[in-house]
Structure 1
Amino acid sequence: MFGLRGSVGIVSDVARQLRPTLSLHGLWVQYINIGGGVGGDIPDNKRLKYALQHIHGIGRAKSHQIVCELGVENKHVKELSKRELYHLRELLSKHLIANELRKVVEKDVQTLVSIQCYKGLRHMDGLPCRGQRTHTNARTRRSKPTFNASR
């Protein structure tokens, strides 16, 4: 049993080392891990303003705001120094992004469902909740749910 645990640890360490640099059909894709529970990896071959948009919860406006606060303009992510990466992590920790944002949204939806308001009932039925028509559109929301064996 101890051998199995040790080998799983070794495999996960190897996976962590291989993940930042990935080769797909001769194309090198590298990522910089922002880490610290912030939300994940951003590609290092793009400019910072556009690379930040790969994190869930950061769009164009928030990305522009973060780059202006950081004081780094028109730089690729791979050109950032360790000090700039540290300040970037601090700035991102102030915002609600990635897994924290997903948890808050899920909690809000569960609150709507528990108080059984209109939007909560639409979420329960799997229908659009923001007034969209369902007669001809909303095919993905109206489709029959697939059978899930885990339920």
Structure 2
Amino acid sequence: MTRIVGINIPNNQHIIIGLTAIYGIGRSRAKKICEVTKISTTKKIKDLNDNELEKLREEISKFIIEGDLRREFSMNIKRLIDLSCYRGIRHRKSLPCRGQRTRTNARTRKGPRRAAQSLRK
């Protein structure tokens, strides 16, 4: 396994697929990284030499990835919650934030159904 930015990437994967294991790098960004470093996208991770790996690490370090990106996302959500704007309130209540209906759907966000409470006298 090759280690890039603290992430173990399996040796038998193509470069584009292997780079997507890093949080913040998808297929399109992986292709751009390969174009800039002039590494063939059909090569596998195990076929890279040390020079090519160093080029990849150098190019990847230009982007915000992994912990920094996760921290930025959570800080953005925390800011919305602190502002008490509509989206922040929806985040606080663990409801969908982007206008989806909640009457019948949204089970993923709301969690499992609770049994109906019967009226007691």
Question: Secondary structure of 2:2's match?
Answer: strand
Give the aligned residue type for 1:57: G
Q: CA deviation at 1:81?
A: 0.7
Structure 2 residue 31 is the aligned partner of structure 1 residue 50: no
Counterpart in 2 of 1:125?
A: 93
Cα distance between partner residues in 1 of 2:11 and 2:103: 45
Higher strand residue share: 1
Q: CA deviation at 1:71?
A: 0.7
Counterpart in 1 of 2:118?
A: none
Cα distance between partner residues in 2 of 1:87 and 1:111: 36
Q: TM-score, normalised by structure 1?
A: 0.70
1:107 counterpart (49, 52, 75): 75
Higher helix residue share: 1
Q: CA deviation at 1:99?
A: 1.0
Counterpart in 2 of 1:96?
A: 64
Cα distance between partner residues in 2 of 1:68 and 1:137: 43
Counterpart in 2 of 1:3?
A: none
Cα distance between partner residues in 2 of 1:131 and 1:43: 39
List 4+ stretches of structure 1 deviating above 2 A. none
RMSD: 1.2
Mind listing any 5+ residue stretches in structure 1 that lack a counterpart? Answer: 1-30, 145-151
Cα distance between partner residues in 2 of 1:91 and 1:111: 31
Structure 2 residue 32 is the aligned partner of structure 1 residue 62: no
Question: Secondary structure of 2:109's match?
Answer: helix
Question: Secondary structure of 1:56's match?
Answer: coil
Alignment of 1:72-83 (within 5 A): 72-73=39-40, 74-83=42-51
Question: Secondary structure of 2:20's match?
Answer: helix
Mind listing any 5+ residue stretches in structure 2 that lack a counterpart? Answer: 113-121
